[in-house]
Structure 1
Amino acid sequence: MEKNVGGYDRIARAILGPVLIIVGAAALAGFLTIAAGTLGLVIAGVALVVGAVLATTAITQKCPLNDALGFNTYEGEMKTEAENPVEPRMQ
């Protein structure tokens, strides 16, 4: 699979992923209450898993969901004119 996560998409994933991991782990450990009872545990577990997925996709720059939906925010390496000279047009 080619890289398909970059730019602001990657930045958002890199910030939101660890935040969700911390919130989910804190809720599961009992340091934070999201909701009472089983619902709180489910929400904490979902936050932990979603955070891990976001962090992983930010690190690897590959997202299977983006690939399935046809999204690509990765820009790749920018080539300079010296590396990729422009041919003069013949008139």
Structure 2
Amino acid sequence: MFKQNVGDKDRLVRAILGVAIIFWGISNHNALGLIGFVFLATAYFRTCLAYIPMDVDTTKS
């Protein structure tokens, strides 16, 4: 699998934003709320695919 590159603070922010975006999408009947699942997945797996080409690693901070 991929190397973990999402640290604890980053993970917490992603989880909170993910849940908030999902609830926003549900309350507004908007399919864009599905983007919240991307945030939750990156928080759960601790891997952000966008960070890989930029060589960003927030696990050290």
Q: Map of 1:3-14 to 2, 5 A cutoff?
A: 3-14=4-15
Structure 2 unaligned segments of length 5 or more: list them: none
- Structure ranking higher in helix proportion: 2
Which structure is larger by alpha-carbon Rg, 1 or 2? Answer: 1
Percent of paired sites with the same residue: 31
Q: How many residues get paired?
A: 59
**Runs of 4 or more above 4 Å deviation:** none
| Cα deviation 1:13-64 (Å, max 9, x = unaligned) | 0111011001101211xxxxxxxxxxxxxxx322x13211001100110110
* Structure 1 stretches lacking a partner, 5+ long: 29-43, 76-91
TM-score, normalised to structure 1's length?
0.59
Q: Could you tell me which amino acid in structure 2 is paired with residue 7 of structure 1? A: D
**Larger RCO: 1 or 2 (CA < 8 Å, sep 6+):** 2
Q: Name the TM-score, length of structure 2 as normaliser.
A: 0.83
RMSD (Å) for aligned C-alpha atoms: 1.2
